[in-house]
């Protein structure tokens, strides 16, 4: 069932300008200000602050917003406006969701907000909340296919995803904070009955489930801690569904005191986490997915994604991030696409994923030029492994990090690459080593100057990796170039050769 929209007909249908943009997200439990460097295919937060207000506490019992929460929310919204103005944002949107749209005094609350002319305020309907959360997952994972669930304090949004589109959707008033203070029957039975009544879920079985929302992100952190997972990045954390259900069922029956003793559990979540895990378990029981993927992108990112033009939406998020951020890391005029084109004959037959990673690597290939030479490889590895970039799985993130390590050092220590080695297989490690070695060769050969690489071809045969050099440029090759070519050839298990052409 969808809540009724109490103000504004529809949001997110207009375009958006250049420069920093900000959103104040007014949820059932918290309000949050997020400022993005720009509204793009790869939105990059430059500021993120959350305040717990508990607007929905007691909502089902009284039908009204929590009075103390309203006072706290308005005070912090004023602070957020000041912060956003100081950061020189070009737009400031406020999105109010389940608590405000369902409360009898929600319109009064929005009337107070609308007195602040700096804010463009929206009450988001249940249908639009599901839509934007779905777009948020697509924004961060363009190949998403399955069902997304976004669990907030007041409601659960469900939407089918596939082919860069959203399908059937539902909004259920079963947010943990709302249920805990409703006084209307057993919260566990309400959750089970609500999910069991979403009939379209039965048509989406066997696919991936995408989990969005603070409570489920908290669960993901706990799961990482319990599993000893080496990379503490929530976005695109991918877990077999059976493993998720086993841990979720365990958490769902724990008391707050028991949860406080568990490593990885936030104290702010001990009251609501059991109900969040119950909802997760019931959804997985209905969907029978192969795996669960946690998404850090949701309503806010989807709101901006929906306002982008078709051309911007069509960009791959990882490539968009690499293009935008890589430009600030470059010291030379050598174009990343000149490097990409020069390497293309050597990587003939690569997969679509490998092509995307190769494109991103070319844009990020000078990421550590201003670090100390002895630490460039290590700094490149750490920086790329932890980039706030969407559009890549944890395995792909590890491959990209290893690639940039090999770009700066031909024989990095295995201990330094421990996390990446644990997340990858032999084939992807070979790809990373080959691409990194070729990038290292490209920079030595060109000296970072444009126009030189197209004059000297790099070719791969069954026996060797060869440079085809015009006779007039033969003297421009040095001993270091020969060594870099040999290192690249070894990565392909080939001999190196320099021939005239």
Is 170 in contact with 197 (CB distance < 8 Å)? no
Mean pLDDT for all residues in the chain: 92
Q: Is a pLDDT exceeding 60 seen at residue 411? A: yes
Can you give the pTM of this predicted structure? 0.92
Dihedral, 48, 52, 58, 64 alpha carbons, nearest 10: -60
pLDDT of residue 1: 36
| Mean pLDDT of the region 410-438 | 96
Classified by CATH at the fold level, domain 316-500 comes out as Hypothetical protein af1432 (1.10.3210)
Q: What is the DSSP letter of 295?
A: -
pLDDT of residue 269: 81
Identical topology for domains 21-124 and 128-300:
yes
In whole angstroms, give the CA distance from residue 200 to residue 27: 26
Nearest to 27 by CA among 224, 168, 159, 176: 176
Q: Is a pLDDT exceeding 60 seen at residue 7? A: no
Nearest to 68 by CA among 144, 181, 163, 168: 181
Q: Which CATH architecture has domain 21-124?
A: 2-Layer Sandwich (3.30)
Q: Is a pLDDT exceeding 60 seen at residue 156? A: yes
Q: Is a pLDDT exceeding 80 seen at residue 16? A: no
> What are the residue ranges spanned by the domains of the chain?
21-124, 128-300, 316-500
| Mean pLDDT of the region 351-373 | 97
pLDDT of residue 47: 97
Residue 467 neighbours by CB under 8 Å, 6+ apart: 445, 456, 457, 458, 459, 477, 481, 485, 497, 498, 499
Q: Is a pLDDT exceeding 50 seen at residue 142? A: yes
Tell me the HSE value of 406 on the side-chain side, using a 13 A CA sphere: 28
| Mean pLDDT of the region 185-202 | 91
| Mean pLDDT of the region 251-278 | 86
pLDDT of residue 17: 57
Is 43 in contact with 138 (CB distance < 8 Å)? no
In whole angstroms, give the CA distance from residue 6 to residue 205: 34
Could you give the C-alpha distances from 432 to 175, 194, 284, 394, 416, in angstroms and in order? 43, 47, 35, 14, 15
Top-level class of domain 128-300: alpha beta
pLDDT band at 183 (very low <50, low <70, confident <90, very high): low
Is 493 in contact with 443 (CB distance < 8 Å)? no
Express as a percent the part of the chain with pLDDT over 70: 96
Q: Is a pLDDT exceeding 90 seen at residue 12? A: no
Q: Is a pLDDT exceeding 70 seen at residue 215? A: yes
pLDDT tens-digit map of 269-316 = 888 899 999 999 999 999 999 999 999 999 999 999 999 999 999 999
Give all strands of the β-sheet with 45-52 in edge-to-edge order.
45-52, 30-36, 21-26, 91-96, 120-123
pLDDT tens-digit map of 467-494 = 999 988 877 788 899 999 999 999 999 9
């Amino acid at each position: 069932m969808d809540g009724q929209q109490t103000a504004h007909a529809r949001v997110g249908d207009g375009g958006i300008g250049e420069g920093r943009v900000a959103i104040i997200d007014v949820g059932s439990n918290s309000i949050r200000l997020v400022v993005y460097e720009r509204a793009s295919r790869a939105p990059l937060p430059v500021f993120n602050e959350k305040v717990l207000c508990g607007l929905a506490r007691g909502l089902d019992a009284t039908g009204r917003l929590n009075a103390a929460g309203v006072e706290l929310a308005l005070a912090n919204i004023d602070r957020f406006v000041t912060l956003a103005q100081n950061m020189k944002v070009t737009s400031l949107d406020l999105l109010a969701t389940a608590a405000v749209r369902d409360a009898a005094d929600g319109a009064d609350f929005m009337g107070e907000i609308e007195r602040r002319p700096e804010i463009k305020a929206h009450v988001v309907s249940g249908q639009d909340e599901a839509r934007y959360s779905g777009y948020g997952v697509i924004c961060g994972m363009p190949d998403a296919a399955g069902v997304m669930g976004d669990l907030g304090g007041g409601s659960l949004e469900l939407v089918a995803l596939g082919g860069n589109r959203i399908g059937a959707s539902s909004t259920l008033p079963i947010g943990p904070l709302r249920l805990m203070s409703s006084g209307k029957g057993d919260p566990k039975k309400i959750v089970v009955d609500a999910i069991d009544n979403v009939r379209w879920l039965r048509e989406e079985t066997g696919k991936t489930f995408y989990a969005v929302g603070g409570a489920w992100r908290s669960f993901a952190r706990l799961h990482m801690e319990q599993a000893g997972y080496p990379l503490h990045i929530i976005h695109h954390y991918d877990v077999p569904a059976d493993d998720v259900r086993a841990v979720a069922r365990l958490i769902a029956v724990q008391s707050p005191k028991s949860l406080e003793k568990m490593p990885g559990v936030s104290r702010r979540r001990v009251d609501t986490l059991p109900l969040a895990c119950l909802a997760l378990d019931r959804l997985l029981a209905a969907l029978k997915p192969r795996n669960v993927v946690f998404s850090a992108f949701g309503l806010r990112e989807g709101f901006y994604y929906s306002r982008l033009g078709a051309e911007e939406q069509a960009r791959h998020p990882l490539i968009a991030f690499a293009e935008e951020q890589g430009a600030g890391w470059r010291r030379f005029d050598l174009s990343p696409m000149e490097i990409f084109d020069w390497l293309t004959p050597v990587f003939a037959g690569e997969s679509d994923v490998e092509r995307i990673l190769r494109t991103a690597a070319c844009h990020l290939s000078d990421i550590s030029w201003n670090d100390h030479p002895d630490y460039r490889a290590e700094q490149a590895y750490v920086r790329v492994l932890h980039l706030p970039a969407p559009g890549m799985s944890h395995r792909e993130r590890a491959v990209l990090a290893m690639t940039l390590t090999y770009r700066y050092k031909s024989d990095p220590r295995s201990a330094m690459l421990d996390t990446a080695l644990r997340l990858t297989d032999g084939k992807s490690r070979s790809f990373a080593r080959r691409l990194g070695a070729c990038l290292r060769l490209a920079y030595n050969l060109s000296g970072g100057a444009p126009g030189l690489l197209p004059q000297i071809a790099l070719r791969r045969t069954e026996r060797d990796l060869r440079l085809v050099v015009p006779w007039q440029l033969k003297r421009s090759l040095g001993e270091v170039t020969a060594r870099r070519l040999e290192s690249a050839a070894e990565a392909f298990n080939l001999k190196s050769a320099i021939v005239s052409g």
